[in-house]
Amino acid sequence: MNITGIILKNLRLKKNITLDQLASEINKTFDINITGSMLSKWETGKAAPIYDHLKRLASYYNVTTDFLLGFDQYENLISVDSSANLNKTKPKIRYSKKANKVKTLAKLLENDKITLKDLLIFEDFIRIYISKKSKNLYR
At residue 63, the 3 state secondary structure works out as coil
Q: In total, how many domains does the chain have?
A: 2
Residue where a domain terminates, one of 27, 46, 68: 68
pLDDT at 53: 94
3-12 residues labelled b (16+ CB within 10 A) or e (exposed): bbbbbbbbbb
Q: What pLDDT score was predicted for residue 138?
A: 52
Same domain membership, residue 48 and residue 90? no
- In this prediction, residue 97 carries a pLDDT of 62
Owning domain of residue 89: 72-134
Q: Which parts of the chain sit beneath pLDDT 50?
A: 1, 73-87, 93, 95, 139
* Shared domain check, 88 and 52: no
Q: Is the pTM of this model over 0.75?
A: no
Q: Which of 90, 109, 114, 124 is nearest to 15 (CA)?
A: 124
Both 38 and 80 in a single domain? no
Task: Answer yes or no: is 42 within a domain.
Answer: yes
Looking at residue 35, its pLDDT comes to 94
Question: Within a domain: residue 139?
Answer: no
Q: Are 20 and 34 in contact (CB under 8 A)?
A: no
